[in-house]
């Protein structure tokens, strides 16, 4: 089942033998179920290897031998092809939606990994921290079953992949009143929590080795209850390149409205899909572009608002440089234009 807000909570005991307090010995990594071009996967993998990940575990939602072959020589990148053979014998429900496939694959990786910590993140997400992830995790309390990453949403810029890239933070993180945040986004702010199109709940890095864990996108569960004993990483964020350009926003909008993060789930009130449907019906593409520009564009006015309230995070991703360092040249057909 997808993560649910009304689950019972449980504290999961952490055996002493699972605690690694020496950052030099601690091994962390990522797991993702991915449906993306090789260039995006290589950028994601190179960034996290450069950050110190011991493993990048990739489950290809659409099997692609070419992608698997590309990473075959790189032992730190582990690729699983989600073929019919892979799904054979597994619960039919586990593969019925993208969200359920993500949770199933991440939980499978969790049960079989030799890592000390495992982050379940998407191909358009990047761990952002001012110090090494291993140091942050090594200093987590011994009773923490997971470490929590706070959300940061990338703003649209001419080229966010090279040099400084701007991300906005939530007002909740800095204790800002909702009414103030709405002033940043005068037309659509009242309808979009925090002005974020993507998730505002953050993501987790899970301590491995705990029994009966289901590793969802936003929460850990044990035996149907949400694991509660986590530790907030106050200096780390999960940077989400959700809509880094108008073209990317357009490309993914329909899927996100019908099956993804914009859709309204049972018992929920208005969601982004409802707003986009209304805007599209009234103003068409011009209205959608106005919505995108207000909420997603790194305009001077928005950057000034965010900076004045300590809600602006700037990081250098330099993804292509990292791809070249870790993997060399991509196949010519896979290079970005």
What are the boundaries of each domain within the chain?
27-334
| Residue pair 229/223 in contact by the 8 Å Cβ criterion | no
Classify 63 as helix, strand or coil.
coil
CA dist 194 → 107, 158, 170, 334 (Å):
30, 23, 6, 35
CA distance 206 to 193: 27
Tokens 């009414």 sit on residue = 179
CA-CA-CA-CA torsion sign (325, 155, 238, 175): positive
What residue ranges of the chain have pLDDT lower than 70? 1-6, 266-268, 270, 332-337
Give the burial class of 237: count Cβ atoms within 10 A of its Cβ; 0-12 exposed, 13-18 middle, 19 or more buried.
buried
Alpha-carbon distance of 27 to 118, in angstroms, equals: 9
Residues 98-109 as b/e (b if ≥16 CB within 10 A, e otherwise) read ebbbbbbbbbbb
Compute how many other C-beta atoms are within 10 angstroms of the C-beta atom of residue 184: 21
Q: What is the pLDDT of residue 65?
A: 95
Q: Is 164 helix (H, G, I), strand (E, B) or coil?
A: strand
Q: CATH second-level architecture of 27-334?
A: Alpha-Beta Complex (3.90)
Question: Could you read off the pLDDT of 187-223 as tens digits, one per residue?
Answer: 998 888 899 998 888 999 999 999 999 999 999 999 9
Cα(337)–Cα(333) distance, integer angstroms: 10
Query: Do 119 and 57 touch, CB atoms closer than 8 A?
Result: no
Q: Write phi, then psi, for 198 (nearest 5 degrees).
A: -100, -170
Q: What is the largest CA-CA distance in the chain?
A: 60
pLDDT of residue 4: 52
| Backbone region of residue 256 per phi and psi (left: phi > 0; alpha: psi in -120 to 50; beta: other values) | alpha
Query: Where does the chain show beta strands of DSSP type E?
Result: 9-10, 28-34, 55-60, 77-81, 117-120, 125-128, 146-154, 164-169, 203-207, 213-215, 220-222, 225-227, 230-240, 312-316
Contact predicate 38/334, CB 8 Å? yes
Mapping DSSP to helix (H, G, I), strand (E, B) and coil, where does residue 157 land? coil
Q: Which helix (H) or strand (E) holds 141?
A: none
Answer whether 255's CB lies under 8 Å from 248's CB.
Answer: no
Cα Rg of the chain, angstroms: 20
């Amino acid at each position: 089942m997808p993560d649910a807000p009304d689950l019972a909570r449980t504290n999961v005991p952490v055996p002493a033998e699972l605690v690694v307090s020496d950052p030099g010995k601690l091994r962390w990594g990522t797991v993702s179920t991915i449906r993306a071009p090789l260039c995006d996967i290589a950028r994601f993998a190179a960034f996290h290897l450069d950050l110190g990940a011991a493993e990048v575990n990739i489950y290809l939602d659409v099997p692609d031998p070419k992608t698997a072959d590309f990473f075959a020589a790189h032992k730190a990148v582990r690729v699983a092809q989600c073929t019919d053979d892979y799904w054979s014998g597994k619960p039919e429900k586990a593969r019925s939606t993208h969200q359920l496939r993500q949770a199933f694959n991440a939980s499978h990786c969790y049960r079989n990994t030799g890592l000390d910590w495992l982050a379940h993140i998407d191909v358009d997400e990047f761990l952002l921290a001012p110090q090494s992830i291993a140091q942050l995790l090594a200093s987590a309390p011994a009773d923490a079953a997971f470490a929590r990453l706070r959300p940061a949403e990338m703003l649209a810029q001419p080229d966010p992949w090279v040099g400084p890239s701007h991300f906005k933070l939530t007002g909740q993180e800095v204790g800002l009143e909702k009414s103030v945040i709405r002033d940043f986004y005068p037309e659509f702010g009242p309808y979009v929590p925090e002005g974020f199109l993507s998730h505002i709940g953050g993501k987790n890095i899970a301590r491995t080795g705990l029994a009966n864990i289901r590793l969802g996108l936003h929460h850990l569960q044990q035996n149907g209850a949400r694991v509660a004993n986590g530790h907030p990483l106050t200096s780390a964020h999960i940077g989400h390149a959700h809509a880094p350009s108008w073209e990317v926003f357009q490309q993914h909008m329909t899927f996100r409205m019908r099956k993804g993060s914009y859709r309204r789930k049972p018992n929920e009130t208005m969601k982004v899909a409802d707003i986009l449907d209304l805007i599209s019906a009234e103003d068409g593409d011009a209205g959608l572009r106005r919505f995108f520009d207000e909420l997603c564009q790194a305009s001077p006015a928005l950057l000034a608002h965010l900076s004045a309230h300590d809600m602006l995070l700037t990081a250098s991703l330099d993804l292509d440089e990292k791809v070249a360092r870790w993997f060399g040249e991509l196949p010519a057909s896979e290079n970005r234009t």
